[in-house]
Structure 1
Amino acid sequence: MWPNPITANSFGPFYPQSPKSSAVPINDTTDFSTEDCLYLNVYSPENATADSKLPVLVWIHGGGYGGGNGRQDLSAIIEANNHGFVGVSIQYRLGAFGFLSSDEIFRNGVVNAGLLDQHFALRWVQAYVTQFGGDPTKVTISGESAGGGSVMCQSLAYGGTLGTSLFRNAVVASPYLPLQYGYKDFEPSQSYYAFATMAGCPPVTAYGGINNTHPSIFNCLVNQDTETLQRASFNISASGIYGTWGFLPVTDGVFLPQLPSQQLLQKQVNGLNMLSGNNANEGPSFTPQNIHTEDELIAWLQITFLAFTNNDIVKILLYYSSTNASVNPSDPLFATTGISGPAALNESQVGSGQQQRADNIYAETTFVCPSYWLAEAYSDHGRQSWKYQYSVPVATHGADVTGYFGPATPEKGPDFELAFMKIWGNFVIQSNPSIPSSIANGARSNSTAENPASSWPTFDIYNPQLINLNETGGVPFSVVSAAGNNVTEMMDPGLINNFTIANAYTWEGGRGYRCDFWKSVGAKVPE
């Protein structure tokens, strides 16, 4: 307990940042921060009291477990939902500080420290959110990208044995599931040794040698100054395989007892209700944008999935079929309908041919299929789930966030922003994302027709349905996409909501079928 009141009218510092690897080498960092960063922010309606018992939305930021912060403004979504809930945004340790892993770390400290920070923040919410008008029995945890992956990890925590003790509902937007190794496997151990070497603690004797005649790596690291550790975390994270971060969650046998693909299959999860979303074009920010031939695709697959045999690679190529036709760079790119015509297998607004093939493989194995598996895991045993896809062009990774938190970017009309905020808000308040047709259709549509989002069907493995969130109309304008090409988006005047229902399994040329494949090889990926 603090002896005196604390003036909390500004954000606390955020954690030292560690970037993902990219095609352009990143220079050594000089942007150092403090390690005193475990802060959270509470957004409470002005008239809320300890007796208000409002639902609570907890936001976990993304950033690949190496970047980001908890400064997301939650006030707009709370206001759009008539001040009907309390908002909490949290921070957690990042990079090597949160996710350094090895046998020595496990023996002397903790692995998955960043996830444990999140877990502790959720315990704080249970203990203190009533002081801000919140009801600890009505907590919804949410996140996008690594924040969505974090929500997945909290859903899986301790083998799904926590029930509703920390949260009732969960929202995942593009849940990030990178390769998840065991805590002392070769890959995280090599990252540990590389980090230690860069921090001035070379791995001469991992455990201190016979009779502890030398300082152990762990003890050496404990005694290093924070700037040395921050520089090592930054540089190791930036030097890995393209599009990846250097320090990630691991299977530790305790907090994360199994691989997500395996535990979700067994439906061993915490909480009761799940709203699961993904974007139409998740992949381009994470795949090299120079894949033009099938040979180049295969080379990328071999680097990305190191444990896969040649037969495994052949299976991927069969599931992700291609015409192998040459692609003319001047050919127009276009968004798929998801239902008929070309599918995301070979076509999108940001790529086509072998490049799109790679983008979609990465998108599905890393973001999209985890969103499917989560929806499936909450589909029975007294639980419920709902599924959506955000498809407003260009719908690349992260483009959805301004839709539910605002302020909306030009391609999202005010009707869309309000509807998206209401979808999330109703899920927080009512544990159901359905919204009135008048809001789903939008005021400017002049439509009184029943909208599928007004009676949103639950997701079921025997009838897996999703709502596709898109728009029609508007005026075209050009932007540079995550893939580096010029693409056309639409802006006001004239944007109208276009929410449709679709079979999630047959969507985009059989996406559910492909996600079943990734589930079957999850132990080998590993994910």
Structure 2
Amino acid sequence: MMLISNILLGLCFFAFSSTVDGQTTVELDYGTFIGVEDSSTNITSFLGVRYAEPPVGDLRWQAPVFPPTTQLGTVNASAYGNSCIPVPQSTVVSGTSEDCLFVNVFTPLGATSNSNLPIMVCLHGGGFQSGNSQVDAVPLMNASAGMIFVSIEYRLGQFGFLAGSTFAAANVSLNAGMLDQRTALMWIQRYISSFGGDPTQVTIWGESAGAGGIMFHLIANGGDQEGLFHAAMGDSVSLSYMPDCDSDYHSDIFALFAGFAGCSSSSDVMACLLAADADTLVSAGTQTVDNRTSTLYIWDPCADTGGTFLATRPVEAFASGAFAQVPGLFGSNTDEGANWSADLPNPDANTSEPNATETTVYNFVAGQYPTFTNDSFATAMELYPLADYNNSFSLQGQQMYGEARYICSGLMIAAAMSRVGLDAYHYHYNNPDQGSDHGSELIALFDPTSDFSGNDAALFVSMQEFWTSFVIAQSPIAASVSTWLPVTNSTSGGPRLLLQPGGIAMENVTDALSARCAFWHSLGAEIST
């Protein structure tokens, strides 16, 4: 599917844009899309633009059909399309659907097919189980010197990341949600020039699972980005558990899911699941998640070690240099691990419980990385002595998890890029005023800076300038702020930029953090990362 789609990218197609009576119209080979011009923001938006055929019926759990084959006629692109169905939901609620493969395109007012603007592509977070593409692009668009912003819907949870031996042996596509993202990038290559974009200037960005998606695109196909992007950015890259697609772990989840969907006793389980209505699968997905009481996210991309798309796990790929050779900007927040354990229903894995013990900390971490051994945990306890965390198992566990999953992954990618001579920029977000938990930095990028004052407002203005200038020229620059230096230490991933109210400055990655990250990455084979 990938090869065929790439060949299609080179074919001629009919597309142009025009402005008539205050409406911006973009005509593609499968439909004409009428955008909404907003003179108050100086942005034209095209919402709910289909980028592939609906993945329903026989196309459920298949790679996206691209380019779209159904002629759409004239589409009033003034409202978001359906979001992909998240977990948990008990039924398909209004505004969500299996038919959800849409992009949203935001352009500067007056952009034409000759504008050749750089493009920032947004992959939303949500643990590959929730979230949607409906973000406010206005602050970043207005902070830039001229760019296009594109956000993407992709299949989630059981619709995008179902796996297991039965599933892997069937006539379906593994990691369909990742293939959705890849296909949306192909759509951009084929069509974005009609909206005013330059397909040779595409920067992909995401946060959390969205940043995890960025990481997977960097290592997909052995590091061949297929000309789909030329720079990459990631906030709090999620280094998730990634066993083989046909592993016992995924097979157990598949069996639970099939049982809740009423298909486990069928002579052909996959035929039963393909015939089931969406409501049945939605309910089954929620029941499956509820059954895994020590795990935060059960559906993530899996390793297709017999295939080509995601055949290698991140730690191995970045250690070996088998990743896309593009410049990058990555980082994380101080308190990435805070509050996650408190969301777990299993008290034996919830370190916020008053009677939490060392075993609770192990159960919490092992709930996210099920092959994490007691021997490795003993080493972790030496690296994270309880006394360093005010004798709090909750604080100790949150630091382990925050570094293992988020903080060390940005360090890993930045260091690997530096090793092969690429410009890599690394940051550390620390905001005592607004909080520094996972996702806290998003207010700096997507909330109007006028909502804040003083040092917070100044920090957020600078961050918007940093992010958008990297998109435009791969060099993060902000007015009246010290230069953001690229990573020079190809082991520690330092130096990095401290993004703090009233104190934006370069800092080194400490030897202690570097050692803890080296420990987690040394477990890549053990914990399937």
Partner SS state of residue 498, structure 1: coil
- 2:311 matched to which residue of 1? 257
- 1:35 matched to which residue of 2? 98
Partner SS state of residue 247, structure 1: coil
After superposition, the Cα gap between the structure-2 partners of 1:136 and 1:30, relative to the gap in structure 1 and judged at 3 Å, is closer
After superposition, the Cα gap between the structure-2 partners of 1:241 and 1:366, relative to the gap in structure 1 and judged at 3 Å, is farther
Partner SS state of residue 149, structure 1: helix
- 1:326 matched to which residue of 2? none
Instruction: Give the number of aligned pairs.
Output: 441
- 1:517 matched to which residue of 2? 519
Where does the alignment leave 5 or more consecutive residues of structure 2 unmatched? 1-29, 32-70, 342-349
After superposition, the Cα gap between the structure-2 partners of 1:41 and 1:318, relative to the gap in structure 1 and judged at 3 Å, is same
Instruction: Quote the Cα distance in structure 2 between the aligned partners of 1:121 and 1:47.
Output: 24
Instruction: Quote the Cα distance in structure 2 between the aligned partners of 1:519 and 1:76.
Output: 36
Residues 16-415 of structure 1 aligned to structure 2 (within 5 Å): 16-19=85-88, 28-29=90-91, 31=93, 33-82=96-145, 84-107=146-169, 108-162=171-225, 165-202=227-264, 204=265, 214=267, 216-242=268-294, 244-253=296-305, 254-287=308-341, 288=350, 289-290=352-353, 292-323=356-387, 346=389, 353-393=392-432, 394-408=435-449, 410=452, 413-415=456-458
- 2:25 matched to which residue of 1? none
Shift of 1:189: 0.8
Instruction: Quote the Cα distance in structure 1 between the aligned partners of 2:398 and 2:172.
Output: 38
Partner SS state of residue 202, structure 2: strand
Instruction: Quote the Cα distance in structure 2 between the aligned partners of 1:171 and 1:259.
Output: 19
- 1:15 matched to which residue of 2? 84
Partner SS state of residue 338, structure 2: coil
Partner SS state of residue 437, structure 2: coil
Q: Which amino acid aligns with 1:18?
A: V
Query: Please, which moves more after superposition, 238-247 or 420-429?
Result: 238-247
Instruction: Quote the Cα distance in structure 2 between the aligned partners of 1:462 and 1:238.
Output: 40
Structure 1 residues 33-54: Cα deviation after superposition (integer angstroms, max 9, x where no partner) = 3211111000001121111111
Instruction: Quote the Cα distance in structure 2 between the aligned partners of 1:143 and 1:301.
Output: 24
Partner SS state of residue 143, structure 1: strand
After superposition, the Cα gap between the structure-2 partners of 1:65 and 1:236, relative to the gap in structure 1 and judged at 3 Å, is same
Instruction: Quote the Cα distance in structure 1 between the aligned partners of 2:491 and 2:207.
Output: 27
After superposition, the Cα gap between the structure-2 partners of 1:45 and 1:304, relative to the gap in structure 1 and judged at 3 Å, is closer
Please, what TM-score do these two structures have when normalized by structure 1?
0.80
- 1:504 matched to which residue of 2? 509
Shift of 1:271: 4.4
Where does the alignment leave 5 or more consecutive residues of structure 1 unmatched? 20-26, 206-213, 324-344, 441-450, 472-496
Shift of 1:303: 4.3
Residues 487-502 of structure 1 aligned to structure 2 (within 5 Å): 497-502=502-507
Partner SS state of residue 524, structure 1: helix
CA contact (8 A) 1:269 1:377 kept: no
- 1:429 matched to which residue of 2? 472
Shift of 1:28: 4.4
Shift of 1:154: 0.8
Shift of 1:285: 3.1
Shift of 1:302: 4.8
Shift of 1:301: 4.2
Partner SS state of residue 245, structure 1: coil
Shift of 1:239: 3.1
- 1:465 matched to which residue of 2? 495
After superposition, the Cα gap between the structure-2 partners of 1:77 and 1:280, relative to the gap in structure 1 and judged at 3 Å, is same
Shift of 1:103: 2.5
After superposition, the Cα gap between the structure-2 partners of 1:309 and 1:87, relative to the gap in structure 1 and judged at 3 Å, is closer
Q: Which amino acid aligns with 1:314?
A: A
Instruction: Quote the Cα distance in structure 2 between the aligned partners of 1:263 and 1:462.
Output: 15
Please, what TM-score do these two structures have when normalized by structure 2?
0.79
Query: Please, which moves more after superposition, 252-261 or 217-226?
Result: 252-261
Instruction: Quote the Cα distance in structure 2 between the aligned partners of 1:241 and 1:261.
Output: 27
Partner SS state of residue 194, structure 1: helix
CA contact (8 A) 2:295 2:367 kept: no
After superposition, the Cα gap between the structure-2 partners of 1:119 and 1:283, relative to the gap in structure 1 and judged at 3 Å, is same
Q: Which amino acid aligns with 1:315?
A: T
Q: Which amino acid aligns with 1:44?
A: T
Partner SS state of residue 154, structure 1: helix
CA contact (8 A) 2:92 2:278 kept: no
CA contact (8 A) 2:130 2:156 kept: yes
Shift of 1:260: 0.9
Q: Which amino acid aligns with 1:407?
A: P
Shift of 1:418: 0.9
Structure 1 residues 293-318: Cα deviation after superposition (integer angstroms, max 9, x where no partner) = 33433444454443233322211111
Shift of 1:160: 0.3
CA contact (8 A) 1:242 1:286 kept: no
Q: Does 1:420 align with 2:463?
A: yes
Shift of 1:17: 1.2
Instruction: Quote the Cα distance in structure 1 between the aligned partners of 2:376 and 2:473.
Output: 44
Partner SS state of residue 141, structure 1: strand
Q: Pick 1 or 2: higher relative contact order, CA cutoff 8 A, min separation 6.
A: 1
